[in-house]
Amino acid sequence: MNRGGIPRQSRYGESPTIDDILNAQFSTRMRKRKELFLPMILVAVPALNSGAATLFSSPDTTATTLDELEVKGTRGQSGLESTAPTHTIDAAQIKTSGITDISDAMRRMPGVNLRDYGGSGGMKTVSVRGLGAQHTGVIYDGAMLGDIQGGQIDLSRYSLENLSSLSLSIGDADDIYIPARAVSTASTLSVSTLQNPDMMSSRPSLTAGVRAASFGTVNPSLRFAASNGHDLGMSLTGEYTHAKNNYPIIIRNGSATTHEKRDNSQINLGHAEINGIWKPTAGSRLQAKAYWFDNSRHLPGPVTYYNSVSHERLRERNMFGQLSYSMKLGQMFSLKALAKYDHAFTRYRDTDGRYPGGELDQKYTRQEEYVTATLLCRPLGGLSLTYSADFWHNSLHSNLRGENRPFRNSFLQALSARWQWQRLTATARGLLSIIHDKSATVPDGKTEKRISPSAGISVRPLENADWHLRVSYKDIMRMPTFNELYFDHYGSVNLNPETASQLNVGTTFSRAISSWLPQIELTLDGYLNHVRNKIVAMPYNMFMMTMTNLGRVRIAGLDATINAEFLLAETHSLLLSGNYSYQRAAPRTDPAMADWMKQVAYTPLNSGAWSLTWQNPWVNIVAHGSGCSARYSISSNIPSTRIGGYMETGITAYRDFRLRACTLEARADLLNVFDKRYEIIARYPMPGRSWSVSLTLKM
């Protein structure tokens, strides 16, 4: 996904990865891979804020420059050399590929199956390679987010305004200098924000932006960063989004077609962060983050014939603070640690007359305390070892009568090794999970222990060709969520963990073909996944459903990507980016069941996305699209539940203007140009044609 000409950022925020440490001896590799790293650094400059330009041009700051490069330019993040597939989209690509929001970004990654309930207020989750959204972990600036209640993270809360990069690792990535928890899911989506100031400049920077879009959407944002030009810095980020989301929809009912609006969909979302960094010595850094998020939204519910009335409201508040410290211990060891406290509150209200007192008012409070420490050791030149230990405590309280106040203690340890020898890279990891649950329903508690192995190997067969072959395997378990365990009637305390195994075989290729085709990258991966003990809802009796370990699913698929740059003239170029996925997800629970060997619900056989960018001196133009083939809303694939395929196409225009010391970035988007009406989730229509314009001033 990541082109050689695009800056590659650390997937886990600004903390040094193992590659950062390896890059301490960066100069040797720089010589070997000069042709790749030089353009990378040059193109990275604008993305690192204006101060970075002076940083790289200053001959007196060489030492610090290297330090910064340790963070920003990490080997193994490109996805081409990694032993397992890794796909990264950074801030520059968001612009050059015409990516419009977080769900659009996810659709540009292969193997991703997005569940989008429509509009900017609709929940968005991702399932990777058919394993289910609960197998996708989300890491936000170095620490994994947890939703102990439902087990899946709603990505709609993250905007692109403050985004540094999005990186999806399928299986285990090559970076072993990460917390044990970061490898506890089948795949991880790492969200990295622009958080740190330019540490080399004492001049503060200010970024102010505003975006307006169809359906009453307005989104102002502000970012301020400052440092003392040496070892201390901070940044402050804030944004607010209001959207009515009352987009037109078409309801087809037999021969009748009615044009209505998606009412009761408005959102009011606020988000603020404060980040601080202190570098007491050359090899150490202390970082702090305080995060606040508040979203009040109306829920339109599924489209219902003859009835558009909905009184549902959802309020979500989330606050967390985290403190991380990393340091070098001599030449051989490095250590990093992180502590985090997370508090999330959710209130669901439905003022429907069916409820007692005319209202359903459910309040849930989730808390998490999390600590992690990782030790890196480099006993030999090409060998790196890490040991990481994580502990976190989750609890859930609610105002529901009969709630059982469950909590979970999770203790994870990971022992990882990475060996790099000439043109071969190998990784291996063992993850020990000890998880203890307790609740009023299970007063004696229940403990689950499991060792989950993973391994990967990547080899470059030819010395003079940037061509890699890779094989990786990962075995992982997913603990049942508190909803699955304890929700009255629906939950079952007897559930066992769901397990998933992933086998990937792939190849990557990168080459400069000619002066008019200076860069082309191709990746092709085939995979075979198995899910066992899949937790599914089955009818318990004629009144209700309950959760049980029943399902088995086999997923076989193919992911392919292409990235290329064509130089048309000195100041004109075309950037091509595309991905395609084939995914055959077959339930294999019981031949007597109706879904036997059909296609898992909401999983398309074919999906893909593309973008074509014309970069020129005037206004850069991007045409882009994403789509998938037909799906079914249930796994037994009965014909009436078929949801048609779609291809949504958009056009983006953007240009940066220099205004003395400032830069004004202007962007306009026309989305769903052909007004394609489609659904990703049945009865949750997606918006038709719409527009968006944004202005961002950087000082």
Partner 1 sequence: MRKYLYLSIAALCAASLASCSSDDNNEPEVPVTGQKSPVYVLNQGNFYNAIEGGLSVIDLEEKTISNNVFKSANNRSLGDTPQCGVAYGSKIYVGTSQSNTIEIIDRASYLSYKQIRLSENPQNGTSPYSMVADKGYVYISMYDGYLARLDTLTMTIDKSVAVGANPDQIALHNGKIFVPVSEGMNWPDYGRTACIVDPKSMTVEKKFNVGLNPTQFISTGSNLFLLCKGNYADVPSTLYEITEGTDDNNNQTYVSSTICNATLAAAFNGSVAIIDEPFVEGAPQATYRTYDPETKALSDWNIEQPDYANAIYFDSMSGNLFIASYVMNGMYPSYDLPGYVNVYDTTGENLLFKADLEAAGPACMFSHKK
In angstroms, what is the minimal distance from the CB of 407 to partner 1? 18
CA distances from 221 to 104, 277, 397, 695 (A): 20, 22, 33, 10
Q: What are phi and psi of 96, to 5 degrees?
A: -70, -20
Site for partner 1 in 287-306 (CB under 8 A): 299, 302, 304-306
Task: Check binding of 401 to partner 1 (CB under 8 A).
Answer: yes
- Nearest residue (CB) to partner 1, 61 versus 633: 633
Site for partner 1 in 216-255 (CB under 8 A): 253-255
Residue 101 contacts residue 130 (beta carbons within 8 Å): no
In angstroms, what is the minimal distance from the CB of 154 to partner 1? 7
In angstroms, what is the minimal distance from the CB of 585 to partner 1? 17
Task: Check binding of 641 to partner 1 (CB under 8 A).
Answer: yes
In angstroms, what is the minimal distance from the CB of 271 to partner 1? 17
Q: What are phi and psi of 315, to 5 degrees?
A: -115, 125
Residue 299 tokens read as 């829920």
- Nearest residue (CB) to partner 1, 446 versus 683: 683
The CA radius of gyration of the chain, in Å to the nearest whole number, is 25
Task: Check binding of 259 to partner 1 (CB under 8 A).
Answer: no
Nearest Cα neighbor of 12 from 156, 133, 180, 150 is 180
| d(C-alpha 200, C-alpha 220), whole Å | 28
Query: DSSP letter at 591?
Result: T
Task: Check binding of 544 to partner 1 (CB under 8 A).
Answer: yes
Task: Check binding of 590 to partner 1 (CB under 8 A).
Answer: yes
Region of 93-101, 205-213, 429-437, 636-644 interacting with partner 1 (CB under 8 A)? 636-644
Task: Check binding of 639 to partner 1 (CB under 8 A).
Answer: no
Task: Check binding of 402 to partner 1 (CB under 8 A).
Answer: yes
Q: What are phi and psi of 106, to 5 degrees?
A: -70, -35
Nearest Cα neighbor of 213 from 120, 107, 122, 299 is 120
- Nearest residue (CB) to partner 1, 218 versus 638: 638
Region of 235-243, 282-290, 309-317, 472-480 interacting with partner 1 (CB under 8 A)? 309-317
| d(C-alpha 459, C-alpha 471), whole Å | 9
Q: How would you class 593 by CB atoms within 10 Å of its CB: exposed for 0-12, middle for 13-18, buried for 19 or more?
A: middle
| d(C-alpha 257, C-alpha 260), whole Å | 10
Amino acid present at 645 = G
- Nearest residue (CB) to partner 1, 341 versus 348: 348
- Nearest residue (CB) to partner 1, 475 versus 484: 484
Task: Check binding of 630 to partner 1 (CB under 8 A).
Answer: no
Instruction: Return the residue of 488, 568, 619, 675 that touches partner 1, per CB under 8 A.
Output: 488
Task: Check binding of 660 to partner 1 (CB under 8 A).
Answer: no
Instruction: Return the residue of 88, 103, 152, 195 that touches partner 1, per CB under 8 A.
Output: 152
In angstroms, what is the minimal distance from the CB of 640 to partner 1? 6
**Scanning the structure block, which residue is given the tokens 């924000």?**
193
Q: Which residues pair with 350 in a beta bridge?
A: 312, 360
Q: Which residues pair with 535 in a beta bridge?
A: 549
Task: Check binding of 319 to partner 1 (CB under 8 A).
Answer: no
Task: Check binding of 66 to partner 1 (CB under 8 A).
Answer: no
Instruction: Return the residue of 59, 356, 379, 617 that touches partner 1, per CB under 8 A.
Output: 356
In angstroms, what is the minimal distance from the CB of 540 to partner 1? 7
Task: Check binding of 683 to partner 1 (CB under 8 A).
Answer: yes
In the chain, DSSP finds a helix count (H) and a strand count (E) of 8, 35
Task: Check binding of 360 to partner 1 (CB under 8 A).
Answer: yes
Task: Check binding of 314 to partner 1 (CB under 8 A).
Answer: yes
Nearest Cα neighbor of 286 from 216, 232, 210 is 232
**Scanning the structure block, which residue is given the tokens 């459903």?**
545
Give the Cβ contact number of residue 224 at 10 Å.
17
Site string for partner 1, 418-457 (x = CB under 8 A): ----------------------------------------
Q: How would you class 372 by CB atoms within 10 Å of its CB: exposed for 0-12, middle for 13-18, buried for 19 or more?
A: buried
Instruction: Return the residue of 31, 32, 59, 256 that touches partner 1, per CB under 8 A.
Output: 256
Instruction: Return the residue of 351, 496, 507, 633 that touches partner 1, per CB under 8 A.
Output: 633
Residue 457 contacts residue 445 (beta carbons within 8 Å): no
- Nearest residue (CB) to partner 1, 327 versus 550: 550
Task: Check binding of 355 to partner 1 (CB under 8 A).
Answer: yes
HSE toward the beta carbon, residue 70, CA cutoff 13 A: 20
| d(C-alpha 265, C-alpha 245), whole Å | 5
Query: DSSP letter at 95?
Result: H
Q: Which residues bind partner 1 (CB under 8 A)?
A: 117, 123, 147, 149-150, 152, 154, 253-256, 299, 302, 304-307, 309, 312, 314, 316, 346, 348, 352-356, 360, 362, 364, 401-402, 483, 487-490, 537-546, 589-590, 592-595, 633-634, 636, 638, 640-641, 643, 682-683
